[in-house]
Amino acid sequence: MLGLVSIFIIFGIVLTVWGIYRMKTDDGIFGKSQKSKNIFNLLLMGEASGIGQFLGGIACVIIGIAYLLFG
């Protein structure tokens, strides 16, 4: 079971890093600053946006660590 939790945590780390990369490089349809473009992409595309991947990665890491500690 430790192997599956480790894969979950590693997947979360990869998602977090990829989300940071996507937030820096993605272009948005609307917005003047990169922050507003990222927020619009989150509202429009959800998890496929950089912020969505970043938040999903953090959630994976937190769930994996919580399972290791309390499960």
Tens of pLDDT along 1-48? 788 899 999 999 999 999 999 989 888 777 888 888 888 888 888 888
Angle at 36 between CA 59 and CA 30, to 5 degrees: 120
| pLDDT score of 26 | 83
Domain extent for 40: 2-70
Task: Name the residue with tokens 């938040």.
Answer: 55
| pLDDT for the residue 11 | 95
- How many domains is the chain partitioned into structurally? 1
pLDDT score recorded for residue 29:
75
Structure confidence at residue 67 as a pLDDT band (50, 70, 90): very high
